[in-house]
Amino acid sequence: MTTILQTEKLRVEYRSREMRQGTKLALRGLDLEVGAGEVFGFLGPNGAGKTTTMNVLLGFVPPTSGSASLFGIDVRQPIARQRIGYLPELTYYYKFLTAEELLRFYAKIFGLSRAITDQRIPELLKLVELESAAKRPIKSYSKGMQQRVGLAQALINDPDLLILDEPTSGLDPLGRMKVREIIQRLKNEGKTVFFSSHELGEVESVCDRVAIIHQGELKALGPVAEITGTHANLEKAFLEIVGFQMQPAS
Amino acid sequence: MRNIFAVAGVVMKELYRRKDFYVLFIVTILICVVMASINIYNDANVVRYLKEISLDLIWLCSLVIAVTTTARQIPAERENRTLMPLLAKPLTRAELILGKFLGCWLACGLALLCFYVFFGALAASREHDLRLLNYVQAAAMHWFMLGIIVALSLLGSLVFAAPSSNATICFVIIGGILFVGRHLDQQALKLHEPIRTVVYVLYFIIPHLEFYDMRDLVIHNWPLVAWKYIGLALGYGAFYMGVFLIGSCLVFHRKPVN
């Protein structure tokens, strides 16, 4: 299986704003490998280092040491991002543009031809059910609609790897179902999906493999069934791995 | 280049759709109309005063447009969190900076074109004479001066976090250069070492924006400036734009996105 995403001994240190604290270690030698066609769940409690890992993968934050690559290309090179789609946790786009204009702008950055763009935009707007609002400025959209625009922009270049940072956060049950459907569809098309989520039931239902990270360290990595092991579900396994002690009911 | 033009297109679209841009534009045109309609004692020289006042307004307005629109570009991207989805695409930070610069500079150029066309038409109707090439030289020099200001404001927006503080500092610097910069060499002669050297160095490193002030050429219908000097001044402006843009790219390259 071809490796699509790889990190080797990835370490990220942030300089703390308070001098007394010195530096804060966000990632401590993270080793990950995601193969082509996999749906990979990246889990961890808040502050575990999930978003930092994604920020390194997208070239937003330089690693202190170690390396990260997408499609075998160092993430610091912009060309590494040519075949990826990214949906941030909080989606904010140019509010003065319409959804159609936004997608056209991103298509230009990916270097898509006008013919492909003209074909792709209606397809995506249909997929995320925003056809009727395509010509309205994004500032008039609801939160769920903005999230759907985010999903459409992440798919504009027909990416081989989709990086989703808590894609269902803030969505209603219908919106969540739609995102799950899209992930499943991409999986069927042989695309690779790397996503973080706190919705462990959702992860269990769509992921091939998961990694659990805690305090910047990789705690578990493997197929969902293997991680779940003898536990009732992934959530129980997750809580044990991150060292959460269940309090007995009084 | 494709990415730079794509970013510039969005910048221009934003400026085009923002109402404050129109407010400045309309206010200037209204003032020009009012000024041009006044005719005190039927004195022919009044036209020159009107031209001067109208040109001062155009200068002030174009300066405000250039600084305020540029100063908020990158901070707004950070504040609105639109920077992350953008840089997650195959777009370099240098392309983003150049796109922002180009968009703001072209938008200023369009505004300037409208101002000069409108002003030229009003002035010609009063004077029954139109020295088109004078307007071309004045507008070209004015546009290049705005290019330097846009590049300077862009650099400032990466150094100072708040657009308001950046805009204020830029206005102070530009005002200082325009009103004091040209006299620094004479002031240096009155000073003792080492301050004299410092002031001299300052005189030679600041971009001399006063070179681009060709209002008198239009007001008094003076003969054209030799094109080779115009070319040199434009080259001088392009050099400073390059310096400020390289500085912006270097500063932005080291900034974390999140």
Instruction: Enumerate residues 6+ apart whose C-beta is below 8 A from A7.
Output: A30, A31, A32, A33, A53, A56, A57, A66, A67, A68, A69
CB neighbour list of residue B127: distance below 8 Å, 6 or more residues apart: B47, B221
**Helix or strand or coil: residue A163?**
strand
pLDDT band at B182 (very low <50, low <70, confident <90, very high): confident
Q: CA A9, CA A68: separation in Å to the nearest integer? A: 9
Q: Position of tokens 């060709």? A: B214
Q: Does the beta-carbon distance from A93 to B9 stay under 8 Å?
A: no
pLDDT digits 0-9 by tens, B91-141: 899 999 999 999 999 999 988 888 888 888 887 877 777 788 989 999 999
For residue range A217-250, list pLDDT tens digits in order: 888 888 888 888 777 778 888 888 877 666 655 5
> How far is Cα A194 from Cα A209, in angstroms, rounded to an integer?
10
Question: What is the SS3 assignment for A112?
Answer: coil
Q: What dihedral do alpha carbons B71, B59, B19, B159 form, nearest 10°?
A: 0
Question: What is the percentage of chain B residues whose pLDDT exceeds 70?
Answer: 95
Task: With beta carbons under 8 A apart, name residues in chain B contacting A88.
Answer: 81, 84-85, 88
Size of interface A-B (CB pairs under 8 A): 73
Q: Is the pLDDT confidence value at B36 over 90? A: no
Predicted pLDDT at A59: 86
User: Among A21-25, A116-120, A217-221, whose mean pLDDT is lowest?
Assistant: A21-25
Could you tell me if the ipTM is greater than 0.90? no
What are the residues facing A165 on neighbouring strands?
Answer: A196
Tell me which amino acid residue B113 is.
L
Interface test with B, best of A105, A140, A153 (most B CBs within 10 A): A105
Give the pLDDT confidence score for residue A170 in this predicted structure: 72
Other beta carbons within 10 Å of B76: 15
| Strand partners of residue A163 | A86, A194
Neighboring chain B residues of A49 at a CB cutoff of 8 Å: none
Is there a contact between A110 and B91 (Cβ–Cβ < 8 Å)?
A: no
Residue A36 buriedness (CB in 10 A; 0-12 / 13-18 / 19+) = middle
- Residue among B1, B188, B226 nearest A108 (CA): B1
Burial class (CB in 10 A: 0-12, 13-18, 19+), A240: middle
Q: Which of the residues B82, B84, B86, B255 would you substitute to probe the A interface, choosing the one with the greatest number of A C-beta atoms within 10 Å?
A: B84
- Chain-centroid distance of CA B196 in Å reads 30
A205 pLDDT above the threshold of 90: no
